[in-house]
Structure 1
Amino acid sequence: MLTRSSLQKATSISSNNMIHILGAGAMGCLVAQELSSFPTPPAVTLLFRNEEKSHTFRTVQDSTIQIKRLFPSEQPITKYQYLASSPKEQTTPIETLFVSTKTYQTKPALEPYLPLITPQTNILLIQNGLGVVEELYRDVWPDISQRPQLWQGVINHGAYLEPVAAGEVGLGVTHAGLGDLFIARVPRDLAHPEKDNEDQAVWADQLVSAEGLVCKKLQYSDLLVKQVKKFIVNICVNSSTAILDCLNGEVAVEGTESLYRSIITEAINVLFTTKPILSTNELSQTELDIEKLVSFVIEVATVWHGKNSSSMRQDTVNLRDTEVDYLTGFIVTQAQEIGSTAPVCSVVSDLVRMRLGVNRIRASA
């Protein structure tokens, strides 16, 4: 565990040796913990929305993240301490930034830190859904020459925030299911996705070396296939568990396979039309086969992450906005852009919104 003296010493480390994580959610905390497991870990600073939240993390939560694992592990519980900062407290340039906020929070979360981000900054997006890169390029960095180097991460671990046990302090995360992490450099110009060069990124090598993450670095086109595969899992599992208000494993009931097949068929047809790079990638033929995806999604939900409570279900339970517009909602908007429709994804999106609305009405009553 990092000691108090380690935390104090870390404040003098240059920004070039610092990894900043924007979004202290389950996935951001999980990645931070795995990096901290090295004998000589990189310095990690968590970026919070404001000074109040960073102060709470330092004082109430003792600058600590606790990971509890629900699967056999040599370390069922680990704790590490971290530096914390906020827009007013962070003054040095940001060289390496991991973003694990909700998709719809990405732009507003990045905005106060934009003066500290340069074209030399590496930004790794570890999020659900599709469309964030396109949104950032369009709205935040329309000038290609001024864009930072974006990376995309696709994480398949199951984890969620949960309070620590009574008498303990820290930000609690439950690691409910083992998975993997894929990362790739995103082309600065998506219209001309040139072949990736070998990047001498120390932080990327550290992620690959973190055994608990099971991380692999890919070419962008291969990563896109993995991203779509994860996206398919999310649009099926996250939406259905949110609507039904159940754990992942509880979707092993009649009707699930039929619904998932309909969602997947609709989504794959839209994505292959709007992202032609998928049709030229050899991995797509095996990884994105519809029937294989149906079986894969059910296995992920009921076997791999059966004890997990999906992020969308957690959002509806805790009355937070969901990422539905970047999941089934994304398929609906993409279909509209090509003059088509996505009726199944449209209904599923509406049901997620209804579930959240019902929960909010019940809470207010």
Structure 2
Amino acid sequence: MYSPPPGPPRIHILGVGNLGRLFAHALANTPNPPPITLILHRPSLLSDWESAGRSISITTHGLTNSAGVYDIEEPIHSGSGMIENLIVATKTLHTAKALEAVKHRLNAQSTVLFTQNGMGTTEEVTRLIFPEDARRPNYLAAITSHGVYSEGPFRSVFAGQAHVSVGLVSGSSAKSRYLLDQIVAAKLLNATEFESRELRLLQLEKLVINAMINPLTVVYNCRNGELLKRSDIMSVMRDLLAEASQVVSSLPELRTREDGGNDVAERFSNENLKAKVLDVAEKTAANTSSMLQDFRAGRETEVGYINGYISKRGKELGINVGNNERIVEMVQKRKVVEDE
């Protein structure tokens, strides 16, 4: 039987892009930091780590901080030591494959925190990686509103300080308490814990906002703020929003016996969602969306887990989601609207 090593429980981090670096750095710079292991899931990351001086550098307001102690592992050399706490910060589309490499080190005593954009990842991981209830880890999710961009391997700029919403998705909150407490205690993250249903609603709000802004910046090849300046783009957004509003308001898992889901219908009404989308687009007007950055770099985007999730759930409910289906197809097939 596995016995955890003495001392504070270790936190492993899988995915060392901007979010993985931010979480690692924030946890490593608390007054009593937990032991942290970075799992380098690509062989090239080892040389990048050496080149970066075996440190993570986060720049805030022009000041760079490289403090923090980290251990590193490569999945192929990681042995059989169990992982008690794992933060997954890979892109949604790489999550299942990344977890496949370490699934033998996770069990029902483990906690996995998912930090990605989009939705549907936990369901996919359950189906593909942990189909057996008895071996499935406890799942947490974090919604991150911070603005972080890369300056190279293991170097990021913390450009827009906002907040993190975190909470239990499934499993035992008692077994997940240590990781939850560590996330909330890391002041740089500015994290607040929410109960499961409210966390789900917050995830869906962010999903809808991303589904309106990200793919349209790709299809029209523009910054966030430019979406608001063209009536043709706003017309497309209205059609996408109408479908998203209907889908989320109809989700059966959000209904409660007390109100029958009326709170959801109001919160996700067309008017309320439109106000939230326009507010974010205005506040991030000068930004290039992460999806457009991926698109321009020739990388696969996460549209399948954003508008694709809306389409999937809509079809399950018999709702017409043709506009969201089309926008997914356009992004995936790299179809852009040329300037007028």
TM class, shorter-length: 0.7 to 0.9
Contact 1:54–1:86 (CA<8 Å) still a contact in 2? no
CA displacement, residues 323-361 of structure 1 (integer Å, 9 cap, x when unaligned)? 111111222222222333312112211221243799xxx
Cα distance in 2 for partners of 1:345, 1:286 equals 22
- Which of 47, 60, 64 is 1:56 aligned to? 47
CA displacement, residues 169-208 of structure 1 (integer Å, 9 cap, x when unaligned)? x5222323222111111224xxxxxxx7566622211211
The residue that corresponds to 2:224 in the other structure is 248
Matched, 1:144 2:120: no
Map 1:93-242; keep pairs closer than 5 Å. 93-163=82-152, 171-188=154-171, 201-242=177-218
Cα distance in 2 for partners of 1:276, 1:47 equals 34
Cα distance in 1 for partners of 2:94, 2:173 equals 30
The residue that corresponds to 2:64 in the other structure is 77
The AA in structure 2 aligned to 1:85 is E
User: How has the CA–CA distance of structure 1 residues 60 and 86 changed in structure 2, closer, same or farther, with 3 Å as cutoff?
Assistant: same
Matched, 1:308 2:296: no
Q: CA RMSD in A?
A: 2.7
The AA in structure 2 aligned to 1:293 is L
TM-aligned CA deviation for residue 232 of structure 1: 0.9
Cα distance in 2 for partners of 1:160, 1:244 equals 22
The 3-state SS of whatever aligns with 2:229 is: coil
User: How has the CA–CA distance of structure 1 residues 239 and 200 changed in structure 2, closer, same or farther, with 3 Å as cutoff?
Assistant: closer
The AA in structure 2 aligned to 1:273 is S
Cα distance in 2 for partners of 1:28, 1:232 equals 24
CA displacement, residues 149-168 of structure 1 (integer Å, 9 cap, x when unaligned)? 111111112223233xxxxx
TM-score (norm 1): 0.81
Matched, 1:329 2:308: yes
Contact 2:110–2:137 (CA<8 Å) still a contact in 1? yes
The residue that corresponds to 2:28 in the other structure is 36
Cα distance in 2 for partners of 1:239, 1:247 equals 11
TM-aligned CA deviation for residue 271 of structure 1: 2.6
Matched, 1:17 2:17: no
The 3-state SS of whatever aligns with 1:77 is: strand
Contact 1:18–1:95 (CA<8 Å) still a contact in 2? yes
CA displacement, residues 6-30 of structure 1 (integer Å, 9 cap, x when unaligned)? xxxxxxx769621111111111111
The 3-state SS of whatever aligns with 1:183 is: strand
**Which one is further off, 335-344 or 227-236?**
335-344
TM-score (norm 2): 0.86
Cα distance in 2 for partners of 1:244, 1:14 equals 55
When the two structures are aligned, how many residues end up with a matched partner? Answer: 328
The AA in structure 2 aligned to 1:89 is H
The residue that corresponds to 1:284 in the other structure is 264
TM-aligned CA deviation for residue 286 of structure 1: 5.4
The 3-state SS of whatever aligns with 1:34 is: helix
The 3-state SS of whatever aligns with 2:155 is: strand
Consecutive unaligned residues in structure 2, runs of 5 or more: none
TM-aligned CA deviation for residue 117 of structure 1: 0.7
Contact 2:17–2:154 (CA<8 Å) still a contact in 1? no
Report sequence identity in percent. 28
Map 1:260-299; keep pairs closer than 5 Å. 260-278=237-255, 280=260, 284=264, 287-299=267-279
The AA in structure 2 aligned to 1:79 is S
Contact 1:22–1:48 (CA<8 Å) still a contact in 2? yes
The AA in structure 1 aligned to 2:12 is H
- Which of 63, 78, 96 is 1:90 aligned to? 78
The AA in structure 1 aligned to 2:58 is I
The 3-state SS of whatever aligns with 1:123 is: strand
CA displacement, residues 22-75 of structure 1 (integer Å, 9 cap, x when unaligned)? 11111111111222221332222221223x234223312222222234xxx4x7
Matched, 1:353 2:298: no
TM-aligned CA deviation for residue 266 of structure 1: 0.6
Consecutive unaligned residues in structure 1, runs of 5 or more: 1-12, 164-169, 189-195, 359-365
Matched, 1:318 2:318: no
